[in-house]
């Protein structure tokens, strides 16, 4: 009964966790299982702690299903998986849990260096579980594919341990063994399965290149840069790993760097982060120039700007910073912003000239380009006021010339935005302003020929403006001619009786016949009369009447009423 129960538990676990029994033996898709689990439980966003929690919960479910409990809630009793049991998935999850904990500690070790000791302990534990998995897979009941995957997985974990211990030769041998096995597996199966193996090989390759560099291969750094370029400068674990390895490589080269030359000045560099950034500046610019598409170029620009901002912040926080070094780094950042926005403007201009297939979908507008040129002009203004370059007259002239070029383009797209709303006179004035800027650039560029190499062609802008002016004048004339023939429907019918126009609204439910309520109209006001003569009338004296009234008493009063006294 106990044997039957054990067999039933094994079968249920195999069905639940992709352990497939075939004619050749038991098979476990090791790489497929761990990749699916990692993508679904945190590693898509680099959350190793979440993935570690998932591995712990899955281990608990497996032990409960298999009846493989290690004691009870009061006491732990360790058990080992034997060849007779062949619980492959259980051991795999134990290895994954230890590995994910090590990667979590590696992230935390950036701020807490002492966690590195715990990191190495967990990595060794993961490698030990990997060796147990490989040993279990040596059983004749396991198929050949699972055996090869177990060997590759064990080699990967062993290589990670050696890599963290900086045992470069041993790490490189382990990674190469892992890479060879996955390449053989990829060539032996269908294209759908081979994709997963090729992805694993790409993840391992940067580690192999870095090990080769530390052993003494000077070409390995160039290979790392090419791999970063092919990755597109995007996010994800692969890009983060490449950035970390490239930074570590540059850190070793930075020890020999003490100063740089900039516009005839010697700038001392005594901060390690600034040295690392400046060493990689040329490689980053070369990667941007070699980018396959605009999306990749934009990502690389963003990466370069982020590194530059971090470096400037480090220089500000260091009490030993040199103002000239800070100006140099700010110059790099601002000029990178100019080039990035110019690249984005070039893409938007090409899209603006294309016809949009879907009218409901919002396409690029001239206002988008105006915003980009505003940022460029703001960056150039900050460049001209950099500390240490106030007396560099050649630099100030170059910046002023570039500002004129970008002002011309900005003015051109402002005019384009006015054309869209049929403000012809405003657009025409702005086109004239563009021509003024462009001719001023041409007159000043004779003494600064080198400054126009990286700038847009002004002559091409002049040609385009002249063409747009003629189109604008024609559109304005047509718009003026069409106005009397098609009066606006907002005017009531009583105001346009002399003009014939078919207005369907007149036979609708709400015809616009007269304006109601009507507008107020001025009318003459009612006159006001003032008695001005009253002030000049002289009344007769009434003194005698008042005295009589006082002396007569009641009789006089009665006589006065009936008029006897008058």
The single residue listed with the structure tokens 């120039």 is 289
What are the CA-CA distances from residue 61 to residues 65, 68, 83 (Å)?
6, 10, 21
Note the residue count of the chain.
566
What are the CA-CA distances from residue 212 to residues 153, 164, 171 (Å)?
21, 15, 10
Three-state SS across 446-509?
Answer: CCCHHHHCCCCCHHHHHHHHHHHHHHHHHHHHHHHHHHHHCCCCCCCHHHCCCCCCCCHHHHCC
Q: Hey, is 76 helix, strand or coil?
A: strand
In 3D, which of 509, 442, 428 has the Cα closest to residue 472?
428
pLDDT at 506: 79
Cα 532 from Cα 254, distance rounded (Å) = 105
pLDDT at 356: 64
pLDDT at 299: 80
Position with higher pLDDT, 520 vs 255: 520
pLDDT at 93: 92
Which two three-digit tokens encode residue 306?
């982020």
pLDDT at 541: 82
What is the mean pLDDT of the segment spanning 91-106? 92
Which own/partner pairs from 472-476 qualify as long-range (CB within 8 Å, at least 24 positions apart)? 472/419, 472/424, 472/427, 472/428, 472/431, 473/424, 473/428, 475/419, 475/422, 475/424, 476/424
Question: How sure is the predictor about 528, in pLDDT bands with cuts at 50, 70 and 90?
Answer: confident
Which two three-digit tokens encode residue 298?
């934009």
Which two three-digit tokens encode residue 150?
């177990």
Question: How sure is the predictor about 127, in pLDDT bands with cuts at 50, 70 and 90?
Answer: very high
Buried b (16+ CB within 10 A) or exposed e, 428-446: bebbebbbebbebbeeebe
Residue 76: beta bridge partners?
Answer: 71
What is the mean pLDDT of the segment spanning 278-289? 77
């Amino acid at each position: 009964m106990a044997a039957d129960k054990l067999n039933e538990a094994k079968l249920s676990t195999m069905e639940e966790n992709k352990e497939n029994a075939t004619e050749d033996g038991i098979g476990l898709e090791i790489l497929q299982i761990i990749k699916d689990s990692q993508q679904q439980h945190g590693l898509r966003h680099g959350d190793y702690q979440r993935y570690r929690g998932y591995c712990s919960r899955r281990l608990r479910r497996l032990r409960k299903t298999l009846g493989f409990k290690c004691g009870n809630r009061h006491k732990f009793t360790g058990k080992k998986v034997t060849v007779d049991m062949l619980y492959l998935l259980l051991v795999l999850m134990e290895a994954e849990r230890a590995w994910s904990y090590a990667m979590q500690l590696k992230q935390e070790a950036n701020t807490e260096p002492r966690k590195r000791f715990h990191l190495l302990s967990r990595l060794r534990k993961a490698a030990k579980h990997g060796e147990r998995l490989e040993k279990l897979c040596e059983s004749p009941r396991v198929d050949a594919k699972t055996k090869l995957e177990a060997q590759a997985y064990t080699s990967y974990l062993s290589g990670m341990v050696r890599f963290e211990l900086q045992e470069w030769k041993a790490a490189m041998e382990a990674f190469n063994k892992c890479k060879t096995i996955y390449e053989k597996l990829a060539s032996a199966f269908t294209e759908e399965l081979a994709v997963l193996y090729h992805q694993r090989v790409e993840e391992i390759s940067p580690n192999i290149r870095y090990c080769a560099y530390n052993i003494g291969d000077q070409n390995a750094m160039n290979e790392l840069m090419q791999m970063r370029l092919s990755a597109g400068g995007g996010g994800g674990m692969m890009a983060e790993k490449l950035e970390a390895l490239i930074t570590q490589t540059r850190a070793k080269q930075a020890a020999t760097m003490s100063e740089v030359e900039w516009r005839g000045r010697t700038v001392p560099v005594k901060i390690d982060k600034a040295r690392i950034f400046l060493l990689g500046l040329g490689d980053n610019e070369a990667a941007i120039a070699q980018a396959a598409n605009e999306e990749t170029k934009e990502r690389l620009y963003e990466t370069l700007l982020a590194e530059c901002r971090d470096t400037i912040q480090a220089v500000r926080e260091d009490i030993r910073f040199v103002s000239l070094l800070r100006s140099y780094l700010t110059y790099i950042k601002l000029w990178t912003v100019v080039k990035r926005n110019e690249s984005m403007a070039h893409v938007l201009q090409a899209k603006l000239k294309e016809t949009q297939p879907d009218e409901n979908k919002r396409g690029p507008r001239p206002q988008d380009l105006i915003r980009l040129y505003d940022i460029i002009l703001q960056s150039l203004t900050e460049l001209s006021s950099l500390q240490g370059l106030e007396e560099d007259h050649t630099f100030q002239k170059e910046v002023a010339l570039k500002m004129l070029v970008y002002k011309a383009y900005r003015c051109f797209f402002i005019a384009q935005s006015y054309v869209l709303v049929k403000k012809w006179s405003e657009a025409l004035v702005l086109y004239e302003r563009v021509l003024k800027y462009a001719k001023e650039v041409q007159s000043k560029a004779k003494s600064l020929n080198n400054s126009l190499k990286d700038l847009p062609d002004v002559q091409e802008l002049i040609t385009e403006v002249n063409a747009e002016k003629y189109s604008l004048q024609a559109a304005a004339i047509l718009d003026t001619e069409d106005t009397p023939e098609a009066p606006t429907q907002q005017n009531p019918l009583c105001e346009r009786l002399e003009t014939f126009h078919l207005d369907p609204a007149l036979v609708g439910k709400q015809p616009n016949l007269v304006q109601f309520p009507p507008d107020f109209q001025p009318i003459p006001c009612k006159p006001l009369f003032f008695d001005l003569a009253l002030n000049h009338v002289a009344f007769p004296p009434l003194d005698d009447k008042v005295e009589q009234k006082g002396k007569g008493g009641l009789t006089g009063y009665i006589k006065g009423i009936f008029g006897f006294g008058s």
